[in-house]
Chains A and B, each alone.
Chain A
Amino acid sequence: MKILVTIKRVVDYNVRVRVKPDGSGVETEGVKMSINPFDEIALEEALRIKERGEAEEVIVTSIGGNEVQQQLRTGLAMGADRAIQVETDQPVQPLTAARILLKLVEKEQPGIVFLGKQAIDDDCNQTGQMLAALWGRPQATFASKVELADGKATVTREVDAGLEVNEVDLPAVMTSDLRLNEPRFVKLPDIMKAKRKPLETLALADLGAEPAADLVATAYEPPPKRGGGKLVASVAELIGELKNKGLL
């Protein structure tokens, strides 16, 4: 079985993102970029499945310009066997991404496609569900535990009510939640080794995926600021303030 893992290049989660003064977008110039944290978790899970002998090959893929090769190389250094870049200089929204991924799925025939539950730049939380719909296969989203047996996966999912367990037939789409695992650190020798692993680049046009109509962003603004706070010196003062506001 092959596992296909998607990797999005995003602004590192430690960066405090700012809106450009002219409201035309967010500042990404000179900012640290990383693998979307959820995708790193998805990749870690795929690697563990392979290390347990339940998969033969882990392929990482990213849709984007040549800069995404950096994140693909990191994925290879973590332990993926090969990488596929789908090259485009335009950012893709979830439905287009899902249509592109479907073409890769038809080509590679993976048993699992593992995505992050959401990209921390657009915070859409859509692509995995959309791919599963187009593929006509199960989706196990927000996974915090994955067990495989007999062509099926038992997946524990983080939901509002607690933990929900679903059983899905493979092939299936899964999306990772935070507590699925803790991704490994990449070691220097692995980075060297990763340079020799195959990284294939496919032109978006050659895949034949039809782009969807995009949502049009017309303005960006910083979030409304909360009014400045006040330090209180004691529990009594705190209670007084809360009573004043009618909260107690």
Chain B
Amino acid sequence: MAKVLIIGEHDGHNLNPATAKTVQGASGLHIDDVDVVLFGSDLDAVAAQAAAVAGVQRVLTVTHDDFAHPLAARIAPEIAAMAGDYSHILTGSTTLGKDLLPRAAALIGVNQVSDIMEVLDARTFKRPIYAGNAIVTVQVPEGAPVVGTIRTASFAAAGEGGSAEIVAAEARAEDPGHTRFVRVEGGGGDGPDLASADIVISGGRALGSSDNFAVIHSLAKKMGAAVGASRAAVDAGYVPNELQVGQTGKIIAPDLYFAIGISGAIQHLTGIKDAGTIVAINKDAEAPIFEIADFGLVGDLFEIVPELEKAL
């Protein structure tokens, strides 16, 4: 039985782009039978979006008030209960995917393949280790489903034009009652989403304060870009945590990336290796960021960035 289950991600209104990227990643398995399952309290809008993703055969909607906010402890047993029908269970390596899928994998009794960056065959995958300093090829032993997260920066989103059948499904597990959603505090922001933006402009420790970070926001606005940051900038409180790019933040693949006042630590570079073109602006000509930047400009960011904004 070759059949793929993809756990779709959404916020109640929009399907997360990670889901279409996961569908694209799964296409490398060469398995035609692909289901997307959605858990939520009101799924009409997102189910229609999932059904339109090319390559999806069926969209399973599991509607229940318990799923108004996705909690791993509540959803993992649902996935484990469905696992018997599938050869592959995948989701994007978003924070939700990373939280949820290992819990399901343990209930199924398998190790997970984290951050799949390339599908070699139905049971063989490449994934990064050591902050991307090495790529390992792993084979999943026979006899149990493959459970894995897809590294979304490695895949484009599957196109639209699909017309999957939408099938309502029942919740099979119970609320364990020990875990409660309280709230989510999102920066939100108005610009494009960092994870899927075409252009990202990131600032580092060199910005020096959240007030100074305005030069980054301003350039981003002019260019229609999303704002990102190094860990140092987030730790110092210049910008909220969800803007961190890197090994332990967001792994992104924009067409154009600006690293401004960022030294280029390996943990940061891991997050941008798949960017199309990298521009670095740094006053230290020896900064490691210049080793991977396509275009480097040595100088003071507080002079260069406003000049750049004006010239655009």
Chain A contact residues, CB within 8 Å of chain B: 11, 13, 16-19, 26, 93-95, 98, 117-118, 120-134, 136-139, 141-142, 144, 154, 157-169, 172, 177-179, 212-223, 226-227, 229-236, 238-239, 241-242, 245, 247-248
Contacts and interface: CB of A to CB of B under 8 A. Distances in A.
B180 interface: yes
Interface residues of B, number: 89
A17 B102 contact: no
Given A26-B134, A163-B184, A179-B234, A212 B111 contact: yes
B277 to A, nearest CB: 6
B161 interface: no
Contact of A166 (B71, B96, B137, B187): B71
A128 to B, nearest CB: 8
Contact of B99 (A141, A172, A219): A141
B35 interface: no
Contact of B294 (A164, A178, A214, A229): A229
Contacts of A166: 71, 179-182
Interface of B: 11, 71-73, 76, 94-96, 98-107, 109-115, 124, 128-141, 143-144, 176, 178-188, 195, 231, 234-235, 240-242, 247-248, 250, 255-256, 266-267, 273, 276-280, 285, 290-298, 304, 307-308, 311-312
Nearest to B16: A160
A133 B83 CA distance: 15
Given A16-B133, A229-B290, A165 B183 contact: yes
B256 A226 contact: no
B194 to A, nearest CB: 9
Contacts of B298: 231
B182 A94 contact: no
B86 to A, nearest CB: 18
A49 to B, nearest CB: 19
B241 A129 contact: no
A162 to B, nearest CB: 4
A13 B290 CA distance: 21
Contact of B135 (A118, A221, A235): A221
20 contacts: A93-B111, A118-B248, A122-B129, A123-B115, A125-B98, A132-B103, A133-B104, A142-B98, A142-B99, A164-B183, A168-B178, A212-B111, A218-B124, A226-B278, A227-B294, A229-B290, A229-B292, A238-B279, A239-B311, A241-B295
A15 to B, nearest CB: 9
Contacts of B76: 133
B273 A226 contact: yes
Given A26-B134, A154-B182, A218-B139, A239 B308 contact: yes
Contacts of A129: 72, 99-103, 106
A54 to B, nearest CB: 19
B267 A160 contact: no
Contact of B130 (A123, A138, A221, A233): A123
Contact of B134 (A19, A132, A178): A19
B141 A216 contact: yes
Given A138-B179, A226-B292, A229-B294, A95 B111 contact: yes
Contacts of B312: 239, 248
Nearest to A229: B293
A229 B293 CA distance: 5
